[in-house]
Amino acid sequence: MSDAKIQLRAVSISVALPLVFSEGRTVLTNQIYYRRRDFSYKGFPGSNPSINDIHDLNYTFTLQHGLSEKWALLAIITPGLASDFEATLSADDFNFQVVTAFIRQFSPQFSFGFGAVYSTQFGQPIPLPVLAINMNNGENLRWDTILPVRSEFWYTPTPKLDG
């Protein structure tokens, strides 16, 4: 079993529609996201594990609202489906996640916040605290994270590609 290996290939696509209200103080974003993950197994004794591919389909509604010059509210609601479609869909194939966070803008390059997440994505309903951090160097690097929900690192090689 020490030579057992699992390889994962993933392809994803998403489409988002942001809507701006209240002179930019409120942004509502609707997003649809699809990801297919293919697994291949090598070196497992006997038969390979039974999961070969998983399809994820999620809808995400995001609300960002400026409460003051320094503080903002972030709310995210994500119902979704994750299944290999090998068997009949059951309640275990559906998941739901809600995130709320209050975020303080310390400078144009740094914001920090705190909040909570309620998620069924790990099989059981779990409430957890979250930390929201957004850092950038003012040019081409950006780190946007809501731990433990997501973390994104962005690099833009030229300003022509940004926005």
DSSP string for the chain: -TT-EEEEEEEEEEEEEEEEEGGGTEEEEEEEEEEEEEEEEES-SSSPPS--EEEEEEEEEEEEEE-SSSEEEEEEEEEEEEE-SSS---GGGEEEEEEEEEEEEEETTEEEEEEEEEE-TTSS-EEEEEEEEEEE-SSSEEEEEEETTEEEEEE-SSGGG--
Task: Output the pTM of the full model.
Answer: 0.81
Please determine, for residue 139, whether its predicted confidence score (pLDDT) is greater than 70: yes
pLDDT at 19: 97
Contacts of 97 (CB under 8 A, 6+ apart): 76, 77, 78, 80, 117, 118, 119, 120, 121, 149
- Overall number of domains in the chain: 1
Enter the DSSP assignment of 160.
Answer: G
50 or 88, which is more confident: 88
Is the pLDDT at 71 greater than 60? The verdict is yes
Q: Taking residues 137-146, what's their average pLDDT?
A: 89
Q: How confident is the model at residue 92 (pLDDT cuts 50, 70, 90)?
A: confident
**Digit-coded pLDDT (tens) for 20-54:** 999 999 999 999 999 998 988 887 777 666 778 88
CA 9 to chain centre: 18
Strand partners, 80: 58, 95
Which residues form the domain of 108?
5-161
Q: Which residue from 79, 2, 86, 22 is spatially nearest to 51, judged by alpha carbons?
A: 86
Which pLDDT score, from 0 to 100, does residue 117 have?
95
Amino acid making up residue 85: F
Region 52-73: mean pLDDT is 95
pLDDT at 162: 60
**Total residue count of the chain as it appears in this document:** 163
- Mean pLDDT, to the nearest integer, of 125-150? 91
CATH number of the domain residue 39 falls in? 2.40.160.40
Q: Which helix (H) or strand (E) holds 79?
A: strand 71-83
How close are the terminal C-alpha atoms of the chain, in Å?
Answer: 48
Average pLDDT of 12-16? 95
Q: Which residue has the higher pLDDT, 83 or 159?
A: 83
In the predicted model, is pLDDT for residue 8 greater than 90? no
pLDDT tens across 149-161, in order?
A: 888 898 888 766 6
| pLDDT at residue 109, as a whole number | 95
Report the pLDDT averaged over residues 51-64: 92
Identity of the amino acid at 163: G
Per the prediction, the chain carries an average pLDDT of 89
